[in-house]
Structure 1
Amino acid sequence: MDFSGGGGGATLSEMYQSARRLLLSARDGVARVERLASAPTSSSYSSAPLVGGGGGVGDSAAAEEVRREVAQIQSLCAQMDRLWRSIPSKGQRDLWKRKVEQLSEEVDSLKETLDRHSLRQKKRVLEAKERAELFERANGESSHVLRIFDDEAQAMQSARSSSRMLDEAYETGVAILHKYADQRDRLKSAQRKALDILNTVGLSNSVLKLIERRHRVDKWIAYAGMIITVMVMFIFWRWTH
């Protein structure tokens, strides 16, 4: 039993058959769009962008055609949804309800597939654009990068030279400190010998105190020399860094 939408329009069965034919055509169109997108010739996405996201001219036209068919099917489903509700027989009404709902689900699934394809194409276009910009930037800044490398090499060479100078200064300072230590030991030995001699000849306590005071002064002079040497080394190290 067929039901018309009134005013001499198409019947419910005719609308359903038209929608099924459009659905088959849309499925073939989606498959064609996927093939065009994966073909080697569709890798140049920047030449002709697809409406809603896509690759070349053929890919764009195929996707646009599928979108028109999907829109027609959805329009037919909306009309059939109104018609089956006016069927008097409950059995016929339930049957057409299931048919229309199944058709709507199939076309919605097809639309989701096409939308996912469009999103993938948009992502590919964006990646291709970013790669092209990066390549152009790399070509334009190659001389600048070389200058940076030269500056880094010079800085490393200067750092190595400063390190060698600091090592030499450190070795010199250590040698000076060793000499001060040797002189201090010799002074102590000489002091002990002098005290032994003075005690032997019986010099006065005032002379002994004078010698001890002179020894303390010599010791502080030696300490001051070591401290000044360390400070000079530290200042030189800070200056070279």
Structure 2
Amino acid sequence: MSVLRRNQVKVSGRAGAPAVMLAHGFGCDQNLWRLVLPRLEKDFTVVLFDHVGSGRSDLSAWSRERYSSLDGYVDDVLDICAELDHLGPVTFVGHSVSAMMGVLAAVRAPEHFAGLVLLAPSPCFVDDPATGYRGGFSAEDIDELLESLDANYLGWSGAMAPMIMGNPERPELGEELTTSFCATDPDIARVFARVTFLSDNRDDLADVRVPCLVAQCSSDAIAPPEVGAFVHARIPGSELVTLEATGHCPQLSAPEETAEAIAAFAGALR
């Protein structure tokens, strides 16, 4: 199967320019990047893709065995990088759970990456009282979240998506994320949710050796500011920027600010 077909890869923007690869988070697809594209396409070659099981990816390529951990998604990212090797090293922009996919991919094969932009990242969503780490959720919170998702995925999506999006004064944003969640196959979503909310990649951060920008939102119910500060502190030489954007999806709620942050970082890597 073609890697480009499997992940519905699309390449646009300025031919011959440095490449920026945009990776979406749980319950989403590449369409959620559409508002940042006009700015990025002016100066960069832009690579979009869907994780297998999301968007218009080839669903026949999905298997529980492969995608029950972040490793399957990391393999896919590296497959795409290898297929598009002629573009040169990419600046990988990973939103939410995809931020840790980028971390793992860059640790495994740093030659493919000019840099990383970790947008609203979280290496671990679960609080760890023993170390003082605050991920934003207790273990009991996560158990209840996953049980609710298992019992009624559509109802869970309708309740969770607006909370994840934030910006209650702009209900259309929460409605768009709800629609995106509901378009995902519930069985695939259940597996991806466990990968998202139960992974712990805190120990992997110190192994990143490519330039890295940690971009957190000023208010985010999913990844609070303490998480961004933790990621920044653990990745050697990383930069930290706090966007004025609120919520967990700044590429939708504040696309201009988000695009400028990405462009400024990627442009400085030339």
* TM-score band w.r.t. shorter chain: under 0.3
Which one scores higher on RCO, CA 8 angstroms, separation ≥ 6? 2
What TM-score do the two structures reach when normalised by structure 2? 0.17
What TM-score do the two structures reach when normalised by structure 1? 0.18
The structure that is strand-richer by fraction is 2
